[in-house]
Every structure is written in structure tokens, then in C-alpha cells.
Chains A and B, each alone.
Chain A
């Protein structure tokens, strides 16, 4: 899935808030902590972050409120101008774009979904969804047709003429999603899209979102403060704290090998068996004698629980989707994960 050129590549990105951030950043010689910077009268929204987002991948940025995750995403779309570093989108330095080019970029390549939906209250569902198309000057019948298409995609057909306040929260967010998809963006930013919804609806919307993603295969940057949500959706997770990245890895790695204590605290209460896949624990065959039926490396330990408990082999062969054996799994190690023992 991963192509060689990243869709978004951020290098040493800084975003400082304060009276004259550029000058302050230049004066920073040694590494200063978030609190030291704050004592100087500046807030480090994003602090020396380097990340790449690959084509077709779903990157989830996770962090508590105030950790800088929303700021970082707003830097990617240049809703915020960064103080230092570079951000390239499709190889183009976005800080060097003119206003015209930036507008073009947003009109054709980017879509964004907001936490509190950001719907225009005076426009109907249809007009909201067609808004980005209207802004780029598409004519009325054409944008109507496209808007109806996306509205159908998010399952709101029949509600085109409603106004946002006539809809429930979940429905409003569907409008937000439809609007962000109307221009067929390459890159899809979602800023805590489901946090404002109640837990049952949230679950439903996550499923819906996974369905859409499977269908569309977009490059996605997804923000959440909900670790479970991150684990459920992500290809890779970025954990942020005080503006800097604590760890950037796959969900399995984050759960199995938290890089810092802060990350470890998050993973403490997580049922690791539901996150970790068999192939993460898999070791090379290395001449071990393999016997019996292999297990599927793509399954989580939790899904394999019955096999792990009932089987009496010490080593289990692991196979990929095609049935080719790729390695072995130590049953004891897997049972440790299952039972939550270290």
C-alpha cells in the first residue's frame, strides 16, 4: 500500500503562540521544555515534530486536550502558519504557496471534518454539502448531482432539504463528512469527529467510517483523544504530549513496546489481547519443528484465545492470508498477553 513519496511530510515543525514567535524560535539554542517555553511567555502548540503520512494510510494522532494534536493538523492544512520547519504536501512546501494556490489546494485536494461539525446554520444539508463545490464555481445542476451522491453515501438521502439544527448530532456529523468528501479530496483530515457524540452513536459512526474508508481508500489524518478509538481505527498512531511526539508506531507496537512512561500509562488499562495481532509476536522458524494446523497471523490474540488455551503445543505455526507459514508463535508468550501478565 505504501508508496515511496509521502503525501505529507513534516520536518522539525514548530508552532509557537506568543508576541513574536519567529524571533523567539531563532533565539532558542538549547532544547527547552514546554514549561520553560511557557515561562518565557510562549505556548508551544507544536514542538519540533517530524512525521510522514503515506499514501492510503490512516494515521491517528492521539493526545489529551492541549497536547497540540489539533494544532498540528491545522498546520498540515495551513489553517495555522507554522513558525519553523517545513511541511510538504505532495512534495510542495505549503508555506511557500500563494493565497491563490493555497485556495486551489484546499478546493481540490483536502477535506476536513470538525469536532463540532462546523456546519453553516443558514444552509440546508444539500447546500452545506455543495458549499465547497459552489466556492470553486461549479454550476448548480452539477454540484447538486455530486452533493446528492455524497449525501447518499453517508446515508442521509431524504434529508437534503433539512437545516442542520433539525438534525441529530450524528446526522449533523454525517453532513460534515459528506461536505468534506464532496470535492473528492486526496487527503482527509478528521479532527475528533466523533467526540461530540454519545457513546452508542460514536460506535456506529466509527463502523460507518471504516466502511467509507474501505470503499474510498483515502489518505487520512484522524485526531482523537480516545485511545480505544485510536487502536480501533489506526494503521499508525502518533501519541502527542505538550506539543511533541512521544511515540509514532503501529497499535501493536505501542501496546507491546511503549516508548515512554507516558505512553505506558495509556496502555495500562488496555486489553492488549484485543489489540495485538499474532504476527507481531511471531518469531522466525529457525529450524523449529512445526506440527499441526497453522493459525492466522492477521487475527488478534483475543480471537485466538480458545486455540491458545486448548492447544498443548509449545510452538504454534503462523500463516499469512494465503496460508503460507511465516513463523512460529510461542504459546506461552501469547498466553501471557491474553492473561495480561508481563
Chain B
């Protein structure tokens, strides 16, 4: 009893200490705001004066210059770019889109690729995947986007395997050497929150413009999850399998190649799936550094407001994404099945043989019927203009137009602009104090300290106002997404049929390259702040809905049954049983929504924003590597602040509830 009461005492002391500090922080913040409101705040406390801002960008530029020219790294990277990497890209380019390079064989007829996709799809997941595989390629060819799609694919088929190999190697190293893992962890979390524009510029500078830079940026972008999945998989290998390996007398190398890696097959293949999806997402975005392909075309079409063609390209990208995702996932769950003894070899390799025969057959056929080799300019069935007319006339219907215009007006004038102005009016130190108290309140001491450090760095980067605007966009979008997404998730979670189909829709939506989300936003709202927020909103709503459903449906049935038997109404059950238990999981979704928003807000720079993304996009045209890095890091640091606070809350909460 005595021990218990002292423990209680300690807890209350801690809580009291915590809330005291919190109150102190908040009082300081509000004092600063008040001082500004009545006009007594000195200017140096409102914004950090220009003179006090260190020339970080210039220093970084000097460092990069040193690395680039003095150390001669650029010769190495250029050699890689012009040597092996370009060779691989030229080869895949020749085979897929008919670039005039070695081996001078391509382009492979579209029908031959489509038919192989059908066979592979069938082997992996039956007729549905076969139809998806064949359908995607037929659509792409018939709609007249084959060449663009293959430009995109030719980069993916080179980047994905390279990213896989590098990720696997680094993952094994991180698993083997603890110091390496400890070193990689912070780098990986920064890499995963770094805006993609920051990947692009170094790639351009070190690896030339065009496909090589695109491939390098893509590879860099896709490696982190592969590393994480590899390490995770290797750690999860059952101890008995490892001991069985040791007892069979494996050497170290045999252990790795014969025991660990094959036993971690599932996680490694999940990593492959993620690598493929990230490669696709990134390749589309490399349009910003002039990579030809689907992304570039989409960018051009959206830029000139050709909605019909944008829509068609969007469909192609989505189909490719869904196909690649489903096929690689089917590969993950596909387990080997034995053959009866005495099965002849041609039956054992039936699938490969059929694919080979059909491939050769269609290649030959396309020599006779050129339409099977290439769908010409005049032959394709693109309905770009017609769809354009349909979309525009649909949007011009009074009811629709009225609604979107009212929404635009309401959000802009009543919500977004006032909110933005409020945030911009807060003095810098007060803003930092508010963020710190949020992090401290939610996550505890460590996240609080990190928030203080990170936001101070942002304040001294010289891009404070633009950072605040970025943050404002993220907060508004996530708040709106939560208002829409959480109730939707709650309603869907009531029936298992609904939650299943909505989860499927969310999973599918998550495979779309983020770029796609700009299309409906621009269609509905044109080019303005509301469109930006809207595109982020739909992107961020997906994880919110998803994790709300997962959280609610993973509440142990005996607890909901206990609530039912205690005579609680549906509402009581939701509020006092399901929500408290689902909250840690929902927090993960909330966190993901914020991370996605930070990612999307940068892409939305394309629509036209005044935040960090806009500046970042501008740096792409030049060689201001230092500035690019500073901007990128600002985004990353803000994202990390929230990531730390929320995930630490979710973890503590889970531990306290005794979940997993």
C-alpha cells in the first residue's frame, strides 16, 4: 500500500510538473502575442532580423562546390551517369520505346508486352489480374500513349532493380552492424520527409539532366523503405530457423544466403512492392526536371488546362500503378506449390513457356499487322477534346458551378485567408513556443525539445514566412480531411462489408502517384489556394479513413460485447469504448495524413502557392543547391516535429493500454 501511494504521488508530481511547464510556455507565448497586439513588441522579437540570419545557403553552396569540384566527386558521378547507368537506360529505352541505341532491337510491339502481362497476371492471381494486366497495356496503346508510357517504364525497369539491390545491401548491413543502423536511422527519417524537389536538384547537378538524373532521383527516393523492410524481415526470422541453420553447419555466408534472406522472403517482397510504387510515383514527378514520359505530358496538359487529355493520362498512370501494385502484392502472397513426381519439365515451366511462345507469336504477327506493333497517330481512340467538352459543360451546370464557387468563396474568404493571416501575425518566438507546447503536451519531453530545436533552425533559415504558409496549408488541409475522413471511417466501420470495400478503395488510392490528386482539384476549383488545399485534403483523407476503420475494427470483440451487455447505446459504446481503444491506431493515420500533406503541399506548388514549395520549384531552374537544401530541410524539420510528437504519443498510449 505504501509503495502504491508513493508511486501515485510521483505520478501526480510528474503530471503537475508537466502542466506547470506547459502553462508557463503558453503564458509566454500569449504575452508576446498580446505585446504585439498593443504595439509594444520590439521588431526584433516579432521576426528575426535579416542581419541575424546566418548565410546557410551560401555556406552550403561553398561546401557543395568543394565536394563537387575540388574533391572531384562530380567526375565520379558523371562517369556513373554517362557510363553504366546511361547504358542500362539506353538498353531499356531501346527495347521499350525504340530509342536508337544498342541493342537496336526495339521497340517491342505493344501486343507482345500486353500478352505477356496477361500470362504473368494469370500466373500470379488468376483471371482478374490477367484482365488487369492485359487491359492496362491495351488501354495505353489504344489511347495513343504507348510511347510516353514506355518512356516512363524504361526508367522504372532500371531504377527499381537498382534500388532493390542497394536497399537490400544497406538493409543487411544495418541488420548486421548496430552502429550502422544507428547511423542510418536519423538519415532515413530525414530522407523520408525530405520534399522530392530536394532529391531532384542534386541529381541534376551531379548526374546530368534527363533520364539519368531522373533515374538517380528515383532510386534515392525508393531506397529507404527497402532498407527498413529488409532489416525488419531479417530481424523477424524465427530463432529456431536460425538455430537450425547453425546446427546444419552453415558458414556465415551460407547463413545469410541460404537461411536469412530466403526466410525473410515476405518482408523483402513487400519492400519490392514499395520500391516499385515509389519508383512510379517519383518517375512521374521527374517531369519537373524535364524527364519525358507520362508525367511530362500530364504536366503540359494540366498547364494548358486540357482537362480531357489530363484525365486520360491520369487514367493510364492509375492503371499502371494499380497493376504494378496488385501484381507485386500477389507475388508476395504467392507460396510455392509442389509438383507431383514425374511431372515433365515442360509442365513444370508451363507458364514461362506459354509466355515465351505468345511473346514470339505476337512479335511475328505484328510484322504482318503493323497495328499490333504500334498504334499510329491517326489510329488511336483518344477522346481528349470530347471529354474536355463533357467535363467543362458538367462543371458549367448551374448547380455544380454554384456549389464549387460558393465553396471556393466560403473557404477562401471565411476560413483560409483569415487563418493564414492569423498565423502570419504571430511573432516568431511565440509561434515556436506554441509548437513546443503542443509537442510537449502531446509527446512529452523529448519531442518538446526537438520541436524547440527544429523550429528555431527554421526561424534562422531566413524563410520563416514561407514556412508558416506551408504549415498553414498543411494544418488547414489535415483539419478539413479529419472533419470529412473520421466520420466517414466511423460510419464505414459499422458494417464489415462497407469497411472492407472502403479499405480496398483506400489501399488503391494510396497506390496512385500523388500527382494524380491535382487533376480533380484543378478541375473543380481552377488554379488557386482552394484547389491546393483540396488536392492535399483528398490525399490526406485516405490514411485518416483507413486507420479510423482499422482502429475501430481492431477493438477486441469481448470489449464491445462487454459494452453491449452493460447496456450502452451505440453512441456510448463508440465514445467510451471504441474511440479510446482505437485512438492510438487513429493517431498513426493522423500522423500519416500530416506527412502526406507535407509531401503534397510541395507538389501543389505547381498550381501556384506562396510557400516553400514554390521557392523549391524555382531553384530547379538554376543551380542554387544550397538554397534548395535549406528549403528542403525546413520542410523536413517541420514534418519531423509533428511525426515525433504524434508517434511518441501513440506509442505511450499503446503501452499504457497494453495493446500489442
Residue positions of A touching B, CB distance < 8 A: 74, 77, 79, 103-104, 106-108, 110-112, 114-124, 131-132, 134-136, 158, 160-163, 165-166, 176, 179-180, 189
Contacts beyond the supplied A115-B240, A118-B244, A131-B248: 10 A-B pairs with Cβ under 8 Å: A79-B243, A106-B247, A114-B243, A119-B241, A119-B244, A120-B263, A121-B265, A122-B336, A123-B262, A189-B247
Residues of A within 8 A of B337 (CB): 163, 166
Task: Please state if B338 and A132 are interface contacts (CB–CB under 8 Å).
Answer: no
The number of chain B residues with a CB under 8 A from chain A is 25
Total of A-B residue pairs, C-beta within 8 Å: 83
- The distance in angstroms between the C-alpha atoms of A123 and B259, with both chains bound, is 10
- The distance in angstroms between the C-alpha atoms of A166 and B340, with both chains bound, is 13
A115-B240, A118-B243 given; A160·B248 CB < 8 A: no
Task: Please state if B240 and A77 are interface contacts (CB–CB under 8 Å).
Answer: no
Residues of B within 8 A of A134 (CB): 258
Residues of B within 8 A of A180 (CB): 247
A160-B341, A161-B339, A165-B335 given; A118·B249 CB < 8 A: no
Q: Does B404 make an interface contact (CB < 8 A)? A: no
- Closest chain A residue to B240, Cβ basis: A118
A114-B243, A122-B336 given; A136·B238 CB < 8 A: no
- The distance in angstroms between the C-alpha atoms of A122 and B339, with both chains bound, is 14
Contact of A106 among B238, B246, B341 (CB under 8 A): B246
Residues of B within 8 A of A79 (CB): 243, 246-247
Residues of A within 8 A of B250 (CB): 103, 135
Contact of B249 among A107, A124, A162 (CB under 8 A): A107
- The distance in angstroms between the C-alpha atoms of A117 and B254, with both chains bound, is 20
Residue positions of B touching A, CB distance < 8 A: 238, 240-241, 243-251, 254, 258-259, 262-263, 265, 335-341
- The distance in angstroms between the C-alpha atoms of A79 and B247, with both chains bound, is 8
Task: Please state if A161 and B341 are interface contacts (CB–CB under 8 Å).
Answer: yes
Task: Please state if A161 and B240 are interface contacts (CB–CB under 8 Å).
Answer: no
A119-B241, A124-B338, A162-B338 given; A112·B263 CB < 8 A: no
Select the residue from B244, B246, B336 with max chain A CB neighbours within 10 A: B244
Task: Please state if B247 and A163 are interface contacts (CB–CB under 8 Å).
Answer: no
Task: Please state if A136 and B249 are interface contacts (CB–CB under 8 Å).
Answer: yes
- Closest chain A residue to B252, Cβ basis: A99
- Closest chain B residue to A132, Cβ basis: B248
Residues of B within 8 A of A106 (CB): 246-249
Residues of B within 8 A of A136 (CB): 249
Residues of A within 8 A of B338 (CB): 124, 161-163, 166
- Closest chain A residue to B338, Cβ basis: A161
Task: Please state if A135 and B244 are interface contacts (CB–CB under 8 Å).
Answer: no
Nearest 6 interchain pairs by C-beta = A107-B249, A118-B240, A118-B244, A132-B248, A161-B338, A114-B240
A107-B249, A121-B263, A135-B249 given; A163·B336 CB < 8 A: yes
List 13 A–B pairs whose Cβ atoms lie within 8 Å, in order of A's numbering: A106-B247, A107-B249, A112-B244, A116-B238, A118-B241, A121-B265, A124-B338, A135-B258, A160-B341, A161-B339, A163-B338, A165-B335, A179-B244
- Closest chain A residue to B335, Cβ basis: A165
- Closest chain A residue to B343, Cβ basis: A161
Residues of B within 8 A of A118 (CB): 238, 240-241, 243-244
- The distance in angstroms between the C-alpha atoms of A262 and B246, with both chains bound, is 35
- Closest chain B residue to A159, Cβ basis: B338
Task: Please state if B263 and A104 are interface contacts (CB–CB under 8 Å).
Answer: no
- The distance in angstroms between the C-alpha atoms of A179 and B259, with both chains bound, is 15
Residues of A within 8 A of B258 (CB): 120, 131, 134-135
